[in-house]
Homo-oligomer: A and B are copies of this chain.
Amino acid sequence: MKIVKVSGEVSIKRSVDSGSEDQRQAVKKILADVRRSGDEALKAYTEKFDHVRMETFLVEPEEIREAYNLVDESMVQIIADAAENIRAYHEKQLRPSWLTTEENGTILGQKVTPLDSVGVYVPGGTAAYPSSVLMNVVPAKVAGVKRIVMVSPPGADGKLPAGVLVAADLAGVKEIYKVGGAQAIGALAYGTESIAPVDKITGPGNIFVALAKREVFGDVDIDMIAGPSEIAVLADDTANADEVAADLLSQAEHDTRASSVLVTPSAALAEGVQREVAVQLAVLPRQEIASRSIEDFGAIYLAADMEEAVETVNQLAPEHLEIMTENAMELLGKIRHAGAIFIGRYSSEPVGDYFAGPNHVLPTNGTARFSSPLGVEDFQKKSSIIAYSEEALRENGAKIAKFARLEGLEAHARAVEARLKKN
């Protein structure tokens, strides 16, 4: 892991796969086929890509029961505990509809309404993460979404991983379909004979899923399209090099394109972490992935002082930020851009990935400059409320009509005056 002195602007080396033209065309064709042929297209593409012939897609209750038998009891309890923590945290995000009243009778406000229906994509294979199920479904549930649909590609045995099914059941999903890829996104967006369409699609997926989500966006809403995972650790002399290194590697093991960065004003820590990363890498099961990630996208930034270090973090706008410094809490106000902020040495990133309660779906690729973690608000929408009284319109109607005429919109002015002329 290279140590680099900070000078001027710094940016994480990032690698976002935005897909090839061939992939885009393939996705367009799949979506068009699903729109045209519905379930038949889903069956054909499932056979082609997942190597299994499905006659129906819905997960039956006995498959859920079977899944519980396949996951050990203490693990079921851990998933349930995590779901409960995620629920408790997201309930704090709930905001009510509100109204203001004025003496002249005016009422203004905002009505908060859950989305009618949401589809959650869950990747298959080795990327089948029960934690991802919880992080996408629980906020939708807390938001009050009535219909939550989950889709995930079946294995060669025509089944879904037991952990995923248990997490879905604990999170309260009642409608799960064994279909994945761009074809599943097409089914969620446009509907087929067996899958009714939804209003929003969330959840991670491979490049075909990402391209399909981008393609259907507008017809339905989508969540952000996630890039490779990132961590920045902001640390000083008080941090332990082995712990910092372990956290950097926990990010690096995700993906060869994941980015792990340390920012520190301490040369001693920089060298210590450099050493520890090498030591720990040597004995890591996913060593191959993690070492490529560290080599290609990892860095240790040595700053002149803590102020420069903080400014560097803001330039990076990392998905995850850990602060391991003396008085870490005091730095919180200086951090402008980060998806999630982990404070102190006991807040290792996996605490947030799995268990503490905040969402692990976070803005990547520098988008923490303008984006937020997935949350309850992503599953609700607002409507403005305007109720003017006769008194209020008599007070302000002439001003409104004049403003409309300034903009050349005579019918606007007349609509207001239609009320004022009377009585």
Contacts and interface: CB of A to CB of B under 8 A. Distances in A.
Interface of A: 74-75, 78-79, 81-82, 89, 92-93, 95, 98, 100, 106-108, 110-111, 113, 115-116, 126, 129-131, 163, 199-200, 218, 220-221, 240, 242-243, 246-247, 249-250, 252-254, 280, 284-286, 290, 328-329, 332, 335-359, 362-363, 365, 367-373, 375, 377, 381-390, 392-393, 396, 399-404, 406-416, 418-419
Contacts of A339: 383-384
5 interchain residue pairs of minimum CB distance: A358-B384, A221-B370, A343-B387, A340-B384, A372-B382
Count chain B CB atoms within 10 A of each CB in A130, A242, A373, A403 and give the residue with the most.
Answer: A403
B284 A355 contact: no
A106 B356 contact: yes
A132 to B, nearest CB: 9
A393 to B, nearest CB: 4
Given A345-B419, A354-B404, A370-B220, A78 B250 contact: no
A341 B383 contact: yes
A419 B243 contact: yes
A400 B196 CA distance: 36
A247 B411 CA distance: 8
B131 A250 contact: no
Contact of A373 (B285, B353, B384): B384
A388 B347 contact: yes
A92 B102 CA distance: 14
7 contacts: A78-B403, A246-B411, A286-B408, A341-B385, A346-B393, A350-B404, A355-B400
B411 A284 contact: yes
Contact of A399 (B81, B115, B200): B81
Given A243-B418, A383-B335, A416-B348, A410 B285 contact: yes
Contacts of A106: 356
B98 A400 contact: no
Nearest to A115: B370
Given A290-B411, A346-B389, A390-B346, A372 B362 contact: no
Contacts of A418: 240, 242-243, 246, 348
A253 B81 contact: no
A324 B296 CA distance: 63
A423 B243 CA distance: 14
A404 to B, nearest CB: 5
Contact of A416 (B82, B335, B350): B350
A346 B388 contact: yes
A346 B393 CA distance: 6
A365 B411 CA distance: 22
A387 B352 CA distance: 10
A284 B367 CA distance: 47
Given A335-B383, A372-B382, A126 B350 contact: no
Contacts of A246: 411, 414-415, 418
Given A336-B113, A339-B383, A354-B400, A130 B409 contact: no
Contact of A329 (B218, B365, B387, B399): B387
A344 B387 contact: yes
Given A344-B388, A346-B393, A393-B346, A280 B414 contact: yes
A388 B220 CA distance: 38
A82 B406 CA distance: 14
A257 to B, nearest CB: 16
A317 B112 CA distance: 15
Contact of A348 (B340, B341, B415): B415
Contact of A413 (B350, B368, B402): B350
A81 B336 CA distance: 33
A345 to B, nearest CB: 6
B386 A343 contact: yes
